[in-house]
A and B are shown apart, each in its own frame.
Chain A
Amino acid sequence: MKKGIGIALVALIATVAAASAQGAHRQLQTASAAGVSCNSTLKLAMVTPITGGAGFLGTEQLSWAKYAVATLPKTMGLKVQLLQGDTPVEQGAAPALTLAQKYAADPSVVGIIGPSTSGDAEASAQIYYHAGIAQISPSATDIPLTYTVNGKKLGTPAFFRDVPANNIEGPTIAAYITNKLKAKNVVVFDFQEPYSQGLASSISGYLTKHSVNVSHLSAPNTTTDYSAYVTKVPSNTDVVVFPTQQPPAAQTFAEQLVEQGKKAVVFGGDGADAPAQFNHAGDYVANFAPDISGIPSDAGIVAGWQKANPTMTLGSFGPPTYGAVQLMLNAIKIACAKDHGVLKRADVYRNMKKVTIKNWILGGTFKWSTKTNDPLNAHFFIFQIQSNGKYKLVNN
């Protein structure tokens, strides 16, 4: 018992010592943080699920954010450090709130990349807004974050996103299925998590309104083997909408459809966009950007990222993160100029809308919408997978 208390005390002291090792932030936390010099090392924090069930999303986004922070600031005369905050989906909104408090208390944090999940974004938006920190999310697509829905808006003037919201992807896909593919029987999947359920209900609604026969299948998120679901797909189905976030799952599903002799075509959302992994000929993918390896001005960026991350494959969640960092840095630059070298946090989000970027990583020129904090004229692109596995744009 004595030995136990002794060990306990040592452990307690050690952890407390470690906790205060980095020099605690003893400054009083105020709502509008005092300015920080633009010549010092500014900090951007990435809030994304790095571990847990959605770890694939966070690790991909983080790799692009790291690459952006490693290459962009020096071309703009800034010194930037990237902090990473892990918000595993298994712990709900609590890590996002804790991280929000942490970053709000650190005066050199001048921008947040994320939060990546809509739930975390909604939970922490008010805290960041009151602390005056701008956030750009590369993947939180819940509509109320930038729109007013049923009289309530969950976003704030400090919250932006550089990808279109859910109200665009669903109708685009559904319209294509109805008009171009002229499908009569469609099966829509969801995986009992918000991204696919939101997309599935939006697509089903549109299809039903346009007299297409829709049947719904719901698979638990932990499903790995879809054979029984493939069996359940009726043989007269034309299209199966499969809004997965894992491209290999879409590939396997398509292969199993062929195996069971079903002629249905698989339609994936932006989560299934990965030419290296989902390349089953004849299927479709929707994305808010064309495959950036096909954009000439991105060749250097893609090559550099691949060199820094040789084991990762190019996916769809990463490039918007790079873009978000780019937008944030540009806004910081404008704010620094306005504040004469002593940056005030709130000026970053106040000047965000002034940023335009030519040769935007997702193609074209990036401008903010004047009405919401979303990109201007954001729309979705539909690709068909060719027999050589490449994606071909089919709806522009």
Chain B
Amino acid sequence: MSELTPPTPPPVDPGAEPPAGPAVGRDEWVAREGERRAARHPWIGTVEGRLRRVPWWAWLTLFVAAGALMPAFESSGYVRLVAFETVIYMVLALGLNLIVGWAGLLDLGYIAYFGVGSYVYAIFDSPKFGFHVPTIVLIPAATIIGALVGLCVGLPSRRLSGDYLAIMTLFFLELFETVATNGNQIFGHNITGGSFGISNVSPLSFFGHRLAVEHQGIFAVSYYYIAIVMFVIIFVTLRFANLSRTGRAWRSLREDTLAAEVMGMPVNWLKLLSFATGAGVAALAGTVTTALNASVYPLNFSPVVMITIYAMVILGGIGSQWGAVLGAILISVLLQVLQNPGQARALFYLGVIVGVIAMFRFSLRLAAVVAATAVFGVVVHAVAASYHHSWVDGAHGGVAGVLGDWVVVPVQLAPWVGQVAYLLLLIGMLCVTQLRGWLRIVALPPTLYLAGFVWENLMIPNPGPARYIILGLLLIVLMIVRPNGLLGERRVEIT
């Protein structure tokens, strides 16, 4: 007898995750493992369900309140300034998330719009040409000009897709850089100040009253609050844009452009709109930043900054607003932390411990690895010390106390030792990812020790390149382990 009724779907626990969707190459049963685990612990499921029902604006209010209260606890101008920069990064990441995450367009020239906003503000509110347009007028004007530039970049690019679009936008960025650097010779007129940039840019002014950038040398916290206000406006606006028809149209554009076009979506217009909006957001961020820095230089808008913002959006999860915010905070703080030796050291050891725990969970193997690493280190240190005391006497600061007997820190590190150690460390790390079982357990302690050695002797004394090495590694590992970032949704790409 044939079945006339379709089989009933399994009961869905309201507190569980929505189905993750079939990931490429994954079995559906495996993909739904998360749901089943949630269903086994009903109270976690209920808590999570309740949390999920909290409206997004409540989360936003909580977050903004926490941010706004921060200066009450931290009076250091340095921390406040870093917080300001982080908020600017958050705004930039939100704008990039719109173009890359929601509309699916790979824009490698995004930072040029940031530059346009900065330059417009600098040209019209500085002694350069003598213009002093009030901020109330200038900031919206700069935003609109930025959006127009985004439109101009989008116009020739609308027929391109994927990689070609990326190439085109990268060229536009280089073009912007060249024009900005040579802008002091445009038909004999000095418009952008050339490679010297524009300096002495006036601070923000409201109703004739100039908002000082610093009081007695300390960063003026009013700029931080202005940045927060800007962030809230952008976040809410983009949120509504995403929930609207345009947002849904963008999503269709991202998923399958051809299908969207066949369905009648105005694909070109949508692309232009996303470019323009993202560009406007970036230009807005540029104006306030320039007001604070009181200067603008063409080198501010280089591909390195571009890649940093991409890293933020990707780390947080492409397509997720909160992901962009989280990514911006993490990377901004990470880059600052890695500049200070003490904090960098703490971060490294924390990271190693967390990584090892993630690899082995709490088990006998974990204990074995930790013990073996400690013993290995002490033995190597003792051997080196017995050779000659200058091999281990280089430690000072936080190391000497806790880890002095573990890490070998020579007084004078011969360059070849550092180079060989680095190379060995790379080989070791690559091997560890390949080995399984007890081979991995054996290979880990020397590799971990080498990592500590390289960190202490090479990376901490050179925080500049070390930061970007960590960032590069982070990007690679992130893409392999979790390509949809921390808060992103897993997507299936149909090629």
Direct contact of A and B (CB under 8 A): yes
Does A395 interact with chain B (Cβ within 8 Å)? Answer: no
Instruction: Tell me which residues across on chain B come within 8 A of A88, comparing CB atoms.
Output: 304, 464
CB pair B330–A12 under 8 Å, yes or no, is yes
* Distance in angstroms between the alpha carbons of A104 and B76 in the assembled complex: 9
A128 touches B217 (CB 8 A): yes
Cα A105 to Cα B78 with chains together (Å): 7
Residue in A12, A91, A311 with the greatest tally of chain B CB atoms within 10 Å: A91
- Does A155 interact with chain B (Cβ within 8 Å)? no
A114-128 interface bits toward B, Cβ cutoff 8 Å, 1 = contact, 0 = none: 000001001100111
Residue B395, interface by CB 8 Å: no
Instruction: Return the chain A residue nearest B327 by Cβ.
Output: A8
Q: Which of B195-203, B246-254, B258-266 contacts A (4 or more CB under 8 A)?
A: B195-203
Are A98 and B78 interface neighbours, CB within 8 A? yes
Q: How far apart are the CA atoms of A131 and B77 in the complex, in Å?
A: 11
- Among residues of A, the one whose C-beta sits closest to the C-beta of B466 is A51
Q: Are B300 and A123 in contact (CB under 8 A)?
A: no
Whole-angstrom distance between the alpha carbons of A5 and B34 in the complex?
13
Residues of B within 8 A of A126 (CB): 214, 217
| Docked complex: A125-177 residues within 8 A CB-CB of B | 126-131, 152, 154
Contacts of A21 in B (CB 8 A): 342-343, 346-347
Cβ–Cβ < 8 Å partners of A154 in chain B: 199
Does A31 lie at the interface of the complex (its beta carbon under 8 Å from any beta carbon of B)? yes
- A101 contacts B305, CB within 8 Å? no
User: Of the 9-residue stretches B60-68, B97-105, B439-447, B484-492, which lies at the interface with chain A?
Assistant: B484-492
**What residues of chain A lie closer than 8 Å to B485, measured between beta carbons?**
4
B contact face: mostly helix, strand, loop, or mixed: helix
Say whether, besides A14-B351, A17-B350, A311-B415, A92 and B300 are in contact (CB < 8 Å). Answer: yes
Q: Does B297 sit at the interface, judged by CB under 8 A?
A: yes
Tell me which of B217, B296, B334 contacts A130 (CB under 8 A).
B217
Determine, out of A52-60, A266-274, A279-287, the stretch whose residues face the partner at the interface.
A52-60
With contact pairs A98-B82, A194-B196, A197-B195 given, residues A90 and B302 touching in the complex (Cβ less than 8 Å): yes
Q: Which residues of A from 28 to 71 have beta carbons under 8 Å from B? A: 28-29, 31, 50-53, 55, 58
Contact pick for B76, options A25, A58, A218, CB 8 Å: A25
**Residue B134 at the A interface, CB < 8 A?**
no
Query: When A and B form their complex, what is the total count of cross-chain residue pairs whose Cβ atoms lie within 8 Å?
Result: 188
A123 to B292, CA, bound (A): 10
Roughly how many angstroms separate A126 CA and B216 CA in the complex, as a whole number?
8
Residues in B with CB closer than 8 Å to A29 are: 75-77, 218
Is B219 an interface residue when CB atoms closer than 8 A count as contact?
yes
Closest chain B residue to A103, Cβ basis: B78
A198 to chain B: closest residue by CB: B196
Q: Are A122 and B468 in contact (CB under 8 A)?
A: no
Decide if B337 touches A18 in the complex (CB within 8 Å). yes
Contact with A along B322-361 (1 / 0, CB 8 A): 0000100110011011011011101100110010000000
Shortest distance between the CB of B445 and any CB in chain A (Å): 22
Contact of A15 among B17, B216, B296, B347 (CB under 8 A): B347
Q: Are B34 and A3 in contact (CB under 8 A)?
A: yes
When the two chains form their complex, are residues A14 and B347 in contact, meaning their CB atoms are under 8 A apart?
yes
Check: B13 CB closer than 8 A to any chain A CB. no
> Which residue on B lies nearest to A123, using beta carbons?
B295
Is the CB–CB distance between A8 and B214 below 8 Å? no
Contacts of A197 in B (CB 8 A): 194-196
In the assembled complex, 13 residue pairs joining A and B whose CB atoms fall closer than 8 Å, in A order, are A1-B17, A4-B482, A22-B340, A86-B463, A90-B304, A91-B305, A92-B295, A97-B81, A97-B293, A104-B78, A105-B77, A192-B195, A221-B195
Q: Which A residues have a C-beta under 8 Å from some C-beta of B? A: 1-5, 7-8, 10-12, 14-19, 21-22, 24-25, 28-29, 31, 50-53, 55, 58, 84-86, 88-94, 97-98, 100-102, 104-105, 119, 122-123, 126-131, 152, 154, 192-194, 197, 218, 220-221, 308, 310-311
**Given A2-B17, A29-B76: 20 more A-B contacts, CB < 8 Å:** A1-B20, A4-B485, A5-B486, A7-B482, A15-B347, A21-B347, A58-B464, A90-B302, A97-B219, A102-B78, A105-B78, A119-B295, A122-B295, A123-B295, A130-B214, A131-B216, A192-B194, A197-B194, A197-B195, A197-B196
